[in-house]
Amino acid sequence: MSKGEFAVIGTGQVPHGNYPERSEFEIAYRVAKQAIDDAGIDKDEIGAVIGAAHIMGDSYNTEMFFGRLPELIGARNCKITASTISGGASSFSLRKTVEGILASGETDTVLVVHAQRFSQFSVNQMATFFAKAGSDPEWDVPYGMTYNALAAMCTQAYLENTGTTIEQVAAVCVTLRKWAMLQPNAMFNTKELTVEKVLNSTMVASPLTSLMCNVLADGGSAYVMTTAEKARRVCPTPVYVLADASEYSHRSITTPRVKDFTEIGDLATIASRAYERAGLGPEDMDIFEIYASYPSVTLMLMDALRIAKPGESGQLVADGKCDPGGPFPISTNGEAMGMGHTGTGVGFGVFVESVRQLQGKAGRAQVDGARFLIENCGGGAFMDCHFTVLGTEVPGA
């Protein structure tokens, strides 16, 4: 990929939360239609439809695998359809799939769709599934491991290694809620949080309380991606993919490539590589669209992104510097803590929010004059990390 070769020109999104009556097909249809309208194109321009697989397999996946989506949205000139999944990192693997299709020249317009309905499953089905999502079925799950326990251990190690306090971790939740309050599609957008409220909520897995743990949600988003050439022709506010950088670390949290939990994996090196490839640095970023799922992981990613000195990110958030109106906006849709956890959709939602910010379409959460931002995603038991720099222009072009 060369810098700024591809661009996103439109997005769609439905409200996130508990919507058991809304099928994945309905979500997929609505978000696709919105994205097509927002992009200002005709559905018959779409040459490929790529879907994010549902993280708990069901009939939606089967239908998607066998070509339902293009037909559902009436993409009569579709040439390619496929599903892509890499857990929480799906927004990245989806986008790389799209870039490959665009680079092939078979089409210059691709629609990407995510739809999720967790509310169809019982509490026990979800508990059982998510115990295995972050933990090895043979070596971890028999010990009563949970996803929250995994994040709790990483939090405990991070606090101990950096001197960050649990109050600062709670402050991340408060900041994310402030952003979510500005988002009409967020699951948690009505009640403000305080550090005390977060700390005093039910202890789940020490040091994580219930308000530091995300909850599963129904939801979905979509976007239209095209070549830079077409984007300039059809869209007044294209958002260019400037650079990205990736690393895979491990399956189980016991076998990470970097054994020190000050960060999980060598996040700082990956972030630096993304900045360098974009020809930009942290000082050029107007927003840091972080997908962490857990508030301590937000801090690890902030350390890696060089927003503050390593280990000082907690203080920065506690000082309100990352709040709406502050100098270092983070996760402006509130990510998993604000939108709810939509499986493969949290990173997808962060990407869509990134595009909206750069298109000036982020509503009350809009960061004025945003030109460049960096976003990330990762999946499994913090198995990988992908940073992407996006911009309203291509530096040096």
Partner 1 sequence: MDPAMIEMLGLSDTDLVKPEPEPTQWSAPFWKAARQHRLLLRRCSSCGTHQHPPYPSCVECSEESFEWVDAVGTATLYAYTVNQFAVPFAFWDDMPYVTAIVELAEGVRMISNIVECDDGVLHTGMDLEVVFDDVSDRFTLPKWRPARQEAR
Q: Of 112-120, 196-204, 323-331, 349-357, which segment contacts partner 1 by CB under 8 A? A: 196-204
Q: Measured from the CB of residue 161, what is the shortest distance to partner 1 in angstroms?
A: 8
Q: Rounded to an integer, what distance in angstroms lies between the CA atom of residue 188 and that of residue 214?
A: 10
Q: Does 204 bind partner 1 (CB under 8 A)?
A: yes
CB of 170 to partner 1, least distance (A): 17
Angle, helices 147-162/123-133, rounded to nearest 10 degrees: 50
Nearest in space to 300 (alpha carbons), one of 201, 161, 92, 174: 161
Residue pair 342/218 in contact (Cβ under 8 Å)? The answer is: yes
Strand, coil or helix: what is 318?
A: helix
- The verdict on 123 binding partner 1 (CB under 8 A) reads yes
Among 192, 202, 236, 325, binds partner 1 (CB under 8 A): 202
Binding segment for partner 1 (CB under 8 A), chosen from 132-140, 181-189, 232-240, 322-330, is 132-140
Residue 107 or 155 having the CB closest to partner 1:
155
Question: Residue 1 or residue 141: which is nearer to partner 1 going by CB?
Answer: 141
275: left (phi over 0), alpha (psi -120 to 50) or beta: alpha
d(CA 389, CA 303): 17
Is residue 166 a contact residue for partner 1 (CB under 8 A)? no
**Alpha carbons 294 and 179: distance in angstroms, whole number:** 16
Rank residues 120 and 252 by Cβ distance to partner 1 and give the closer one.
252
- Report whether 122 contacts 113 (CB < 8 A): no
Under the binding rule (CB under 8 A), the answer on residue 136 touching partner 1 is: yes
Residue whose pair of structure tokens reads 């009569």 in the numeric block: 76
What whole-number distance in Å separates Cα of residue 330 and Cα of residue 185?
Answer: 18
Comparing CB distances to partner 1, the nearer of 2 and 210 is 210
- Find the shortest distance in angstroms from Cβ 264 to partner 1: 11
CA-nearest of 245, 224, 227 to 359 is 224
Does 208 help bind partner 1 (rule: CB under 8 A)?
A: yes
Q: Is 225 in the site for partner 1 (CB under 8 A)?
A: no
Binding residue for partner 1, selected from 67, 71, 103, 127, defined by CB under 8 A: 127
Q: Is residue 135 close enough to count as binding partner 1 by CB under 8 A?
A: yes
Question: What are the φ/ψ torsions at residue 329 (nearest 5 degrees)?
Answer: -60, 135
SS3 call for 211: helix
Residue 122 CB, shortest distance to partner 1, in Å, is 7
Among 20, 67, 100, 137, contact with partner 1 (rule: CB under 8 A): 137
The helix/strand/coil state of 305 is: coil
| 206 in contact with partner 1 (CB under 8 A) | yes
User: Which of 128, 194, 200, 269 is in the footprint of partner 1 by CB under 8 A?
Assistant: 128
CB closer to partner 1 out of 2 and 255: 255
* b/e 134-166 (16+ beta carbons within 10 angstroms → b): bbbeeebeeeebbbbbbbbbbbbebbeebebeb
Instruction: Give min distance, CB of 123 to partner 1, in A.
Output: 6
Contact set for partner 1, span 237-266 (CB under 8 A): 252-255, 259, 261
Among positions 42, 106, 160, 167, the unique one binding partner 1 when judged by CB under 8 A: 160
C-alpha to C-alpha distance for 143 and 287, rounded to whole angstroms: 40
Shortest distance, CB of residue 267 to partner 1, whole angstroms?
A: 17
Q: Does 62 bind partner 1 (CB under 8 A)?
A: no
List the one residue out of 267, 347, 352 whose CA is nearest residue 302: 267
Specify the residue, 133 or 390, whose C-beta has the smaller distance to partner 1.
Answer: 133
DSSP 136: -
Beta strands in the chain (DSSP E): 6-13, 48-52, 80-84, 109-116, 203-205, 208-209, 219-227, 239-248, 287-289, 372-377, 384-391
Q: Does 148 bind partner 1 (CB under 8 A)?
A: yes
The residue among 59 and 254 lying less far from partner 1, judged by its C-beta, is 254
Half-sphere CA count of 302, side-chain side, radius 13 A: 27
**Segment near partner 1 (CB under 8 A); pick from 4-12, 70-78, 142-150, 369-377:** 142-150
Angle at CA of residue 75, ends 74 and 80, nearest 5°? 140
| 199 touches partner 1 (CB under 8 A) | no
By the criterion CB under 8 A, which residues form the site for partner 1? Answer: 122-124, 127-128, 131, 135-146, 148-149, 152-154, 156-157, 160, 202-208, 210, 213, 252-255, 259, 261
